[in-house]
Structures are given as C-alpha cells and as structure tokens.
Amino acid sequence: MKFFVDTADVAAIRELNALGLVDGVTTNPSLIKKSGRDFKEVVKEICSEVEGPVSAEVVSTDYDGMIAEGNKLAEIAPNIAIKVPLTWDGLKACRTFTGEGKKVNVTLCFSANQALLAAKAGATFISPFIGRLDDLNLDGMQLIQDIRQIYDNYAFETEILAASIRSANHVSESALAGADVVTCPPAVLQSLVKHPLTDKGLADFVKDWEATGQKI
C-alpha cells in the first residue's frame, strides 16, 4: 500500500519523507488555509520535497474554470495531480486532463456509482471519504470494498485512494479492503507504530538490562 500524507505542513512532510514513508501528498483548500501560506508557494515546496504525486485542488466548480486552474496547477511541477470534485463538470475536466497525459485525483467520492464514473472518465485516483461516511452512520469501509470489486471486475486502472482517514484502524481496514493508497494526517501515520504491548515490552527489556549492570 502507498502512503500519502494529507497535509500542507512541509516540515511534517520532510520528517516522514526522511523515513521513506511518503509516496505522495494530498492537499485541499482547507489544508492550505490552515498553513497560512501562499497556495502556489507551499505546493511548489511540497513538490520539491517528494517524488510522488502531489494533489492540488481546483476551486472552480465549472468546467472552463477547472481547466484554466488545472493547467496553472500543472505548471507548478511535473508531479502535480490535479484534484477535481466528483461532479459532471469535474468528470468532464478529468477526461480532458487525462487525455492530455495529466494525473487526476477525483475527490469527494461517496458512492460506488460515483467511483465507476470516475474510472470511466480516466481518473488516476479516486478518493472515497471514509470518515465522513462514518459520521453519518454509514459504512465507509464497505465503500472501499465495493469499489475494489467493481474495479477488479473490469480491470480499471484507477487507484483507490482512501481519504478522510481518522484513525490507525482506518488505515489497516483500508489495506485489508484492498485500497491502493491511503492518505492521512501526519499524526495518524505516526500513530501506526504505537502499541501498548510494544511500550511495555521495551520498558521491561530496559529494566532487566539495567539490572545486569552491563554495557554494550
């Protein structure tokens, strides 16, 4: 499974990338706002930090606006993936960008039918939002499973990018469900290493070693 980091915090990206954990980055207008920095400046810096795709989102809701903005985003760096919403205009834009050889991340997916349309439009990535479905007492992970089966049935090459990840369980469940990529905040990615039995075992080992009075 590929790990994308869902953030505009360049320092956090740099730290995780040094460990070889970052296969790509996803951003959105909300994350850029949180960074407090210039949009193009922060995206360009992120693209220079990672080799994998960096999703940068258009903000227009009409086809012409998406095309104009997407082309500007693509000029920032060669590893940009243009992020478009799962609307009719978004699908039209996806088709256009894909035809031009650009990577496209179709976002805000909440149903298997939407994911099917995105794959037909040639999306590089489809981003189903797990956490937001869970908030409505719907099964976000079932959506991942449904999309996986549909894509496998017809050999679609669109990668399933599990988004709106809020816990370590979401990550492992997405992997089990067959997602190709999971994108999550740095804190969630870092939490994957944690387990109380690991902490306890390490503390016991340290205590027993200290009792021997030896040094390595």
Catalytic (active site) residue 102: no
Q: What angle do CA 118, 93, 107 make, to 5 degrees?
A: 45
Q: What distance in Å separates the CA atoms of residue 33 and residue 39, rounded to the nearest whole number?
A: 8
Q: What distance in Å separates the CA atoms of residue 188 and residue 197, rounded to the nearest whole number?
A: 19
Which is catalytic among the residues 33, 72, 83, 194?
A: 83
Instruction: Specify the pairing of strand 2-6 against strand 159-162.
Output: unpaired
8 A C-beta contact, residue 185 and residue 25 = no
| Ranges of H-type helices in the chain | 10-18, 29-35, 39-49, 63-74, 88-99, 112-120, 130-135, 140-154, 168-177, 186-191, 196-212
DSSP 13-51: HHHHHHTT--SEEE--HHHHHHHTS-HHHHHHHHHHH-S
> What CA dihedral angle connects 116, 58, 110 and 128, to 10 degrees?
80
What's the one-letter identity of residue 77? A
Centre a 10 Å sphere on the Cβ of residue 132 and count the other Cβ atoms it contains.
Answer: 15
Active-site positions?
83
